[in-house]
Amino acid sequence: MPSRRAFLAGAAGAPAILPGAAGRAYSLADIERMIAMGDVKGKLSRADLPTPALILELDAFEANVARMAAWARRKNRALRPHAKTHKCPEIALALMKAGAVGACAAKISEAEALAAGGVTNLLVTSACVGPHKLERALRLARRHPETILSVDDADHAAALDAAAAAAGLRLNLAIDLWIGNRTGVEPGGKALALARRVAALKHVRLAAIQAYAGQASHALGFENRRKVSLDAMGLAVETRRLLEKSGIACPLLTGGSTGTYNIDSEIEGVDELQPGSFLFMDLDYSRIGGPDGPVFRDFAQSLFVIATVISRPTAGSAIVDAGFKAFSTDRPFGPEPRNLEGVKYSWGGDEHGKLTLGNSGPPVRLGDRIEFVVPHCDPTVNLYDRIYALRGEQVEAVWRIAARGMSQ
Ligand SMILES: Cc1ncc(COP(=O)(O)O)c(C=O)c1O
């Protein structure tokens, strides 16, 4: 069995196991007070954080941001990253500082939370259907007239037009195209018919085509993914051309994802990229494969969950305080311990995870802290109130996941 010291040293990056006693023993009240006052820098460290804790390693995160921003610049594409991944205004603002034109939001609650945090140029990528969402969309557009709202239905477009007329507004609409397996109007003739209806309305204007192909983002293997994405985005480009030939101006075609950023940016007619997960990365994305092999390495893991060993029921197992409520559960696999070769995580329940240590496993003790790579970043982030942004071992900032848990 390897020595405990070897495991504490870990591989490159964070130590595999952090001893429980390594923190400065701030009380929980001390920590909450520091966070409330924004007074964490130079005081709070990784070892102090109450667990389970969602952490963001800033060096890796900033490298991801810089890489995607440089790529978009080089390819002459706008970047409007999807905030469904992070739900956090500070992160959207950091992206805009790096050159992003704004942010995408999956739904009106996300857009509201981002706008309240100072984010502008929002594109809501699914339709705000129903009276409450419509009312909120109008309220947002009144304060942020540049907001773009998605539509895939003529009656909904007419409802938005009527609401805009009553409010004295002109709304920007994106036609959401069904090029994947989710929402949208079918590309080609049906999209053209919708565009004609929109063009005839007085209180809305056609600002964009919104095109997201979920089946492409995680398609396994680079060449396969390339084909799937070219097919899907090809439909969007053809539809754009059809609209233009029919005399309907379409100033923007926006879409794409982390898995297809370097495929869609090669397609003539795609103006804007909207990837999200590249900021954090997760197990799912690391497994989609890249041009050089089965691991997708374009972006670095920057998001982790720290958990504490709370029980050692048998010699070969340990229980941590992170289960279904600490990690996304929508994938057929759970989280992976970071830098801990041979140790396997399995679900132990709502609050618990089970580590199988194996014969040559590390000498884990009660109170030790173990970090995990998350299965799927978006739904994991949605489980936390805050994200601790770390520079090395030090907490540099604590950001509220402002739009978390909002179901509308
Ligand atoms: C409409 C839309 N655009 C972009 C994205 C970003 O995808 P990813 O996080 O895979 O980069 C998503 C993710 O689900 C999405 O729904």
* Beta partners for residue 71, in sequence order: none
The token pair that represents 207 in the structure block: 């600002």
Same domain, 46 and 84: no
Report the CATH number that the domain containing residue 367 is assigned in CATH: 2.40.37.20
Closest ligand 1 atom to Cα of 214: 14
Please tell me the predicted confidence (pLDDT) of residue 11: 46
Instruction: Among 253, 274, 330, say which to mutate for ligand 1: greatest number of ligand atoms within 8 Å of CB.
Output: 274
Q: Residues of 314-348 as b/e, b for ≥16 C-beta within 10 angstroms?
A: eeebbbbbbbbebbbbebeebbbbbbbeebebeeb
Same domain, 80 and 96: yes
pTM: 0.95
The token pair that represents 325 in the structure block: 């409520």
- Domain end position, chosen among 245, 280, 315: 280
Same domain, 257 and 313: no
Same domain, 101 and 146: yes
As a three-state string, the secondary structure of the chain is CCCHHHHHHCCCCCCCEECHHHCCCCCHHHHHHHHHCCCCCCCCEHHHCCCCEEEEEHHHHHHHHHHHHHHHHHCCCEECCECCCCCCHHHHHHHHHCCCCCEEECCHHHHHHHHHCCCCCEEECCCCCCHHHHHHHHHHHHHCCCCEEEECCHHHHHHHHHHHHHHCCCEEEEEEECCCCCCCECCCHHHHHHHHHHHHCCCEEEEEEEECCHHHHCCCCHHHHHHHHHHHHHHHHHHHHHHHHCCCCCCCEEECCHHHHHHHCCCCCCCEECCCHHHCCCHHHHCCCECCECCCCCCCCCEEEEEEEEECCCCCEEEECCCCCCCCCCCCCCCEECCCCCCEEEECCCCCEEEECCCCCCCCCCCCEEEEECCCHHHHHCCCCEEEEEECCEEEEEEECCCCCCCC
| Residue 233 CA, ligand 1 centroid: distance in Å | 14
Q: Whose CA is nearest to atom 7 of ligand 1?
A: 257
For residues 189 and 196, give the distance between their C-alpha atoms in angstroms, rounded to a whole number: 10
For residues 259 and 266, give the distance between their C-alpha atoms in angstroms, rounded to a whole number: 14
Q: Please indicate, yes or no, if residue 292 is contained in any of the structural domains.
A: no
| Residue 3 CA, ligand 1 centroid: distance in Å | 43
Instruction: Among 79, 82, 283, say which to mutate for ligand 1: greatest number of ligand atoms within 8 Å of CB.
Output: 82
Q: Please indicate, yes or no, if residue 406 is contained in any of the structural domains.
A: no
Same domain, 97 and 183: yes
Same domain, 173 and 314: no
Residue 127 sits at φ, ψ, to 5 deg, of -70, 140
Q: How many residues are listed for the chain in this entry? A: 408
Q: Please indicate, yes or no, if residue 150 is contained in any of the structural domains.
A: yes
Q: Is residue 379 a contact partner of residue 399, using CB atoms and an 8 Å limit?
A: no
Closest ligand 1 atom to Cα of 378: 9
Report the CATH number that the domain containing residue 142 is assigned in CATH: 3.20.20.10
Same domain, 274 and 318: no
Closest ligand 1 atom to Cα of 85: 9
- Domain end position, chosen among 221, 247, 280: 280
Closest ligand 1 atom to Cα of 126: 1
| Residue 257 CA, ligand 1 centroid: distance in Å | 5
**Beta-carbon neighbour count of residue 378 at 10 Å?**
20
Q: Please indicate, yes or no, if residue 75 is contained in any of the structural domains.
A: yes
For residues 228 and 365, give the distance between their C-alpha atoms in angstroms, rounded to a whole number: 47
Amino acid identity, position 285: Y
Please tell me the predicted confidence (pLDDT) of residue 342: 86
Residue 270's contacts (CB-CB under 8 Å, 6 or more residues apart) are 77, 233, 236, 237, 253, 254, 255, 256, 264
Same domain, 271 and 347: no
Residue 166's contacts (CB-CB under 8 Å, 6 or more residues apart) are none
Instruction: Say how many domains are in the chain.
Output: 2
Closest ligand 1 atom to Cα of 277: 9
Per-residue pLDDT tens listing for the chain (408 residues): 556 665 665 545 666 787 776 767 799 999 999 999 999 999 999 999 999 999 999 999 999 999 999 999 999 999 999 999 999 999 999 999 999 999 999 999 999 999 999 999 999 999 999 999 999 999 999 999 999 999 999 999 999 999 999 999 999 999 999 999 899 999 999 999 999 999 999 999 999 999 999 999 999 999 999 999 999 999 999 999 999 999 999 999 999 999 999 999 999 999 999 999 999 999 999 999 998 999 999 999 999 999 999 999 999 999 999 999 999 999 999 999 999 988 999 999 999 999 999 877 678 999 999 999 999 999 999 999 999 999 999 999 999 999 997 666
Q: Please indicate, yes or no, if residue 396 is contained in any of the structural domains.
A: yes
Same domain, 64 and 53: no
What residues make up the domain containing 50? 4-57+297-400
| Residue 106 CA, ligand 1 centroid: distance in Å | 9
| Residue 214 CA, ligand 1 centroid: distance in Å | 7
For residues 385 and 156, give the distance between their C-alpha atoms in angstroms, rounded to a whole number: 34
| Residue 123 CA, ligand 1 centroid: distance in Å | 12
Q: Whose CA is nearest to atom 2 of ligand 1?
A: 212
Task: Give Cα separations from 220 to 262, 284, 288, 300, 334 (angstroms).
Answer: 15, 10, 5, 18, 19
Q: Please indicate, yes or no, if residue 286 is contained in any of the structural domains.
A: no
Instruction: Among 65, 212, 253, say which to mutate for ligand 1: greatest number of ligand atoms within 8 Å of CB.
Output: 212
For residues 384 and 48, give the distance between their C-alpha atoms in angstroms, rounded to a whole number: 17
Q: Which residues line ligand 1 (CB under 6 A)?
A: 82, 84-85, 104, 125, 212, 217, 257-259, 274-277
Same domain, 201 and 259: yes
Same domain, 372 and 246: no
Instruction: Among 217, 270, 281, say which to mutate for ligand 1: greatest number of ligand atoms within 8 Å of CB.
Output: 217
| Residue 168 CA, ligand 1 centroid: distance in Å | 32
| Residue 82 CA, ligand 1 centroid: distance in Å | 6
| Residue 200 CA, ligand 1 centroid: distance in Å | 30
Same domain, 180 and 127: yes
Closest ligand 1 atom to Cα of 218: 10
